[in-house]
């Protein structure tokens, strides 16, 4: 017997995300990534790591950001949703 899926009410609301990619992006890419803060950081092995942080309107907007990362051929290291209480 299949149970109905219960929707996650938070998926349609804005949320803050921290996305790490392998590679170096500077802050000039911020507008292309919907105004996210771009922070070049240390390295993961031999490669630089960049963190993108900001509010994402909904899951469709998150998918668009991830697609842009894909289009730049950057390696996605992590995607973390930052809970309200953690901010």
Instruction: Tell me the H-state helices in the chain.
Output: 59-71
Task: Identify whether 67 is part of a domain.
Answer: yes
pLDDT in tens, 45-67: 678 999 999 999 999 999 999 99
**Three-point CA angle 42, 45, 46, nearest 5°:** 85
| Domains identified in the chain, total number | 1
CB atoms inside a 10 Å sphere around CB 6: 6
Write the pLDDT tens digit of every residue in 26-35. Answer: 999 999 999 9
Instruction: Please provide residue 82's backbone torsions phi and psi, each rounded to the nearest 5 degrees.
Output: -95, 115
Q: Is residue 28 part of a domain?
A: yes
Q: Output the domain CATH number for residue 60.
A: 3.30.70
User: pLDDT tens for residues 7-20?
Assistant: 455 567 899 999 99
Report the C-alpha gap between 57 and 43 in whole angstroms.
29
**pTM of the predicted protein model:** 0.80
């Amino acid at each position: 017997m299949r149970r109905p899926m219960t929707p996650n009410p938070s998926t349609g609301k804005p949320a803050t995300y921290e996305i790490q990619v392998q590679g170096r992006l500077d802050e000039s890419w911020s507008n292309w990534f919907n105004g996210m803060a771009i922070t070049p950081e240390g390295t993961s092995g031999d490669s630089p790591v960049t963190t993108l942080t900001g509010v994402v309107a909904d899951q469709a907007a998150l998918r668009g950001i991830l697609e842009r990362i894909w289009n730049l051929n950057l390696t996605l290291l992590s995607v973390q949703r930052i809970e309200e209480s953690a901010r």
